[in-house]
Chains A and B, each alone.
Chain A
Amino acid sequence: MRLREDARSLIFTNLCSMLGTFFLGLGSVYIKSKEAPAKDILKDLVEMCRGIQHPVRGLFLRNYLCQISRDKLPDIGSEYGGDGDSINDAVEFVLQNFTEMNKLWVRMHHQGPIREKEKREKERSELRDLVGKNLHVLSQIDGVDLDMYRDTVLPRALEQVVNCKDDLAQHYLMDCIIQVFPDEYHLQTLETLLGACPQLQPNVDIKMVLSQLMDRLSNYAASSTEVLPEFLQVGAFAKLSNAIGKVIDSQPEMPVFGSITLYVSLLTFTLRVHPDRLDYVDQVLAACVKKLSCLPRIEDKKATKQIVALLSAPIEKYNDIDTALKLSNYPRVMDHLDNATNKVMAVVIIQSIMKNNTYISTSDKVDALFELIKGLIRDMEDTDDEELDEDDFKEEQNSVARLIHMLYNDDPEEMLKIIYAVRKHILLGGHKRLVFTVPPLVFSALKLVRRLHCQEGDVIGEDVPATPKKIFQLLHQTVEALSVVPSPELALRLYLQCAEAANDCDLEPVAYAFFTQAFVLYEEEVADSKAQVTAIHLIIGTLQRMNIFGVENRDTLTHKATGYSAKLLKKPDQCRAVYACSHLFWVDDQDGIKDGERVLLCLKRALRIANAAQQMANVTRGSSGPVTLFVEILNKYIYFFEKGNPQITSSAIQGLIELIMTEMQSDNSLSEPSMDAFFSSTLRYIQFQKQKGGVMGEKYEPVKV
């Protein structure tokens, strides 16, 4: 029985809508015939549609009405009349249809069993375009000018949107209004449109709606500079900013990330529309700070992401950290980030600087910048050390190191100030960071020293603040700071670099002082034998290139260096360091030192050590070690021989070759292919020099291979 009733009502409504469709078609033809005014027929049709109250059928019927009437609406220039009144009629007709359709649509939500609610909402969502279509039709009517839109269309549409109190409808229709009507209209009616936002249901995602609006307006502003005055004229920024404030205040339930998303949209808008108004940008940030300061530190991932977006926007826009540094609220927003995100943001800032090659050119800016990226510069309170990933830390500190090279000014005086400022900040970094940050600072300062040295002549005098001497003092103290780490090897390298720079500036006492420091470190701090080997070779290499030392200073230093060499732990290391020392007495420059005798002494000493090493190997391993050391020494002999050291004779070379050959042929010698190759190529070289003839050929003449 029940079923029959249902079926009957179904057939009835079906019949009704079929009839409706038929009459609508008829009406459309009737309008075309122009026998009666279009507006009257349309009015009748829209009234007639009231007969169908079944939501889905009603929606489709009215959608059909909307479609067929579209090209028959009285509009400007249309054949169905287009004076002021009839346009009103057309608008009235569509608005009425819109209202009725929305009612039907909203009603769907409330009809039918509760358990099918979800399915019904999905269905409803699929039908939304039927309702939205009316707004699209309205936007296409030429007669809907700004006045008509502001006075009739928008208020009526919003009235329906607000009063229907339906989440889905409100969100969708707000979005529709924003998308279908032109930007100019939105700009001129911002207050009305924004005024509706706080009246929407609490569950409506207003931030999405507002973001859409702001994105749209931002794109509009970006489309042409000619439209910018419009924005100024209506005070778009103030209105939007105000509206956002209201929405956030009226929705205390809104998650933090929601309100920050709104600020991000507003900021994007501001940056596009008012790129010159830094104060607006700062205002947005200030509003955000205000919101954030009432909350505990942000833990929400989504919110943090939005804050990062908020902070990244100005940097991306201006491509220039300089501008961001002028924003007083910028660091205050950063303070609300958790430590990890703070660091991420700091890295973003540094990357921006690197990418855009932005030089930070005053010490004030350097101070501001370091304040901004302080998360990377020093340990923050309540940092969880366990979380710290070693690789991440290195990566971060390396980026700080790169950054230091971007802090630069052509003016030496300002540059010195910058260096002082950087030093002040990085010294707060603690021992773990100094290893990364001191070297770039040292090199940055050395660069300044060399620049001053090049300009010398026009700036000499005690009253000039930036003198190499002064910088070297600073460098001295800076490298000394590494002692707390401690990182003696690094400090030693840096002292040697400084010594070399001092040498180039003709500052003998300074260079000597740096060497002294390096030696002290070597003696007192470098204990590891491998590190000692590396250090000693660095010392020898640097010392060899020094040319300002007087005989006495030089003797002291070379004496020390050779002394250290001979005291290395392993014999082969000793041997190699000692023969390297030979270069200290023979500098292949025009007026370099050339002390053949001491060269020979070094080489002979190296040979003795090599011998000892060989014997030791015999005793301990039962076989003599490879003869590599001898071949290496042979090569040194050949070098000095060719350089014209009178102490190195062809017979010495001859003797050495024979010695190596005997060693190699001895039964218990260890054969090593690389060594054999080394030796035979050395011999081939001698052969080659002999065959080549000339002066060198003659010199080699007595050597028999």
Chain B
Amino acid sequence: MASRRRMLLKVIILGDSGVGKTSLMNQYVNKKFSNQYKATIGADFLTKEIQVEDRLFTLQMLILPFLQIWDTAGQERFQSLGVAFYRGADCCVLVYDVNVVKSFDNLNNWREEFLIQASPSDPENFPFVVLGNKIDVDGGNSRVVSEKKAKAWCASKGNIPYFETSAKEGINVEAAFECIAKNALKNEPEEEIYLPDTVDMAGSSRLQSSSSGCEC
């Protein structure tokens, strides 16, 4: 049973609009990047089969709308459904844009938002990973948040692993998600696994075919 539970690793990606959450996910899963900015409506997710410590997992990455309105400048009008998606998360990824101070300042809000919505059993030790994205922009000249500052914040929140990424150039994306998967795995499984109604059929169907065969 334990192994079956661990088949799915659920990762929640949060951050201000426009920091590149969708782009990071797309780069990691589809190795694709588009310079065009397209807002995400509601919750969005992608899955990827991965191997960690010789075992196969399905990594499910969700970009979620935030529910508390602490910043009305965001895209909250596209966010009405969603509290259910938070449950059962194994890891939370906080993304900011190294060229936008506000997006970094908001990390704290995002972290708290997550802890409130997901209410993990052990909030102190819940695995977070922070990504500073868009390091490629203008050859790093328009950067306003230094690596040192970001690392200091991460250290102050219980040594959160930190990565500097570029979804555009694919820099550090693979490494970051590898770390994310490992940290997700470390998280103690919740009492009850919650599968939202949009969860992958592919994963479960494969399971079925390998055990008892099709029910129809």
Asked if B201 lies at the interface with its beta carbon under 8 angstroms from chain A, I say yes
Contact B36 A129 (CB under 8 A): no
Chain B: which residue is nearest A70 at the CB level? B46
List which B24-56 residues lie within 8 A (CB) of chain A: 32, 34, 36-42, 44, 46-47
Q: With A129-B41, A182-B36 known to touch, is A28 a contact of B202 (CB < 8 Å)?
A: yes
Asked if B198 lies at the interface with its beta carbon under 8 angstroms from chain A, I say yes
Chain A: which residue is nearest B197 at the CB level? A64
Contact string against B for A residues 52-64, beta-carbon threshold 8 Å, 1 for contact and 0 otherwise = 0000000010011
Segment from A131-139, A199-207, A462-470, A659-667 that makes contact with B: A131-139
CB < 8 Å A-B pair total: 73
Asked if B116 lies at the interface with its beta carbon under 8 angstroms from chain A, I say no
Closest chain-A Cβ to B41's Cβ sits at a distance in Å of 4
Contact A126 B81 (CB under 8 A): yes
Chain B: which residue is nearest A71 at the CB level? B46
**What is the CA–CA distance of A176 and B42 in the complex, to the nearest angstrom?**
11
Asked if A92 lies at the interface with its beta carbon under 8 angstroms from chain B, I say no
Asked if A460 lies at the interface with its beta carbon under 8 angstroms from chain B, I say no
Chain B: which residue is nearest A129 at the CB level? B42
Contact B197 A142 (CB under 8 A): no
Contact A25 B39 (CB under 8 A): no
Chain B: which residue is nearest A125 at the CB level? B80
Asked if B119 lies at the interface with its beta carbon under 8 angstroms from chain A, I say no
**What is the CA–CA distance of A638 and B33 in the complex, to the nearest angstrom?**
89
Contact B77 A175 (CB under 8 A): yes
Q: Interface SS of chain B: helix, strand, loop or mixed?
A: loop
Chain B: which residue is nearest A134 at the CB level? B41
**What is the CA–CA distance of A644 and B41 in the complex, to the nearest angstrom?**
92
Asked if B109 lies at the interface with its beta carbon under 8 angstroms from chain A, I say no
Asked if A32 lies at the interface with its beta carbon under 8 angstroms from chain B, I say yes
Contact A126 B41 (CB under 8 A): no
Q: With A129-B42, A179-B39 known to touch, is A67 a contact of B77 (CB < 8 Å)?
A: no
Q: With A129-B80, A182-B36, A182-B37 known to touch, is A29 a contact of B42 (CB < 8 Å)?
A: no
Contact A179 B80 (CB under 8 A): no
Contact string against A for B residues 127-144, beta-carbon threshold 8 Å, 1 for contact and 0 otherwise = 000000000000000000
Q: With A28-B202, A29-B201, A136-B44 known to touch, is A182 a contact of B38 (CB < 8 Å)?
A: yes
- A181 surroundings in chain B (CB, below 8 A): 38
Count of interface residues, chain A, beta-carbon cutoff 8 Å = 36
Closest chain-B Cβ to A460's Cβ sits at a distance in Å of 56
Q: With A128-B80, A182-B38 known to touch, is A28 a contact of B75 (CB < 8 Å)?
A: no
Contact B42 A64 (CB under 8 A): no
Asked if B146 lies at the interface with its beta carbon under 8 angstroms from chain A, I say no
Closest chain-B Cβ to A57's Cβ sits at a distance in Å of 12
Chain A: which residue is nearest B45 at the CB level? A67
Closest chain-A Cβ to B126's Cβ sits at a distance in Å of 27
Chain B: which residue is nearest A72 at the CB level? B202
Chain B: which residue is nearest A178 at the CB level? B39
Contact string against A for B residues 63-75, beta-carbon threshold 8 Å, 1 for contact and 0 otherwise = 0010000000001
Interfacial residues, chain A to chain B (CB-CB below 8 A): 21, 25-26, 28-29, 32, 60, 63-64, 67-68, 71, 77, 125-130, 132-133, 135-136, 139-140, 142, 172, 175-176, 179-184, 220
18 pairs of residues in contact across A and B, judged by CB atoms under 8 Å: A25-B205, A32-B202, A60-B197, A63-B198, A68-B198, A71-B46, A128-B80, A129-B42, A129-B79, A132-B78, A136-B44, A175-B77, A176-B78, A179-B38, A179-B75, A180-B40, A182-B36, A184-B36
The 8 closest A-B pairs by CB, nearest first: A182-B36, A129-B42, A179-B39, A136-B41, A132-B41, A25-B201, A126-B80, A67-B198
Known: A126-B81, A172-B77, A182-B38. 16 other contacts (CB 8 A): A21-B197, A32-B202, A67-B198, A71-B46, A77-B32, A128-B80, A129-B65, A129-B81, A132-B42, A135-B41, A136-B42, A136-B44, A179-B38, A179-B75, A180-B39, A183-B36
Interfacial residues, chain B to chain A (CB-CB below 8 A): 32, 34, 36-42, 44, 46-47, 65, 75, 77-81, 197-198, 201-202, 205, 216
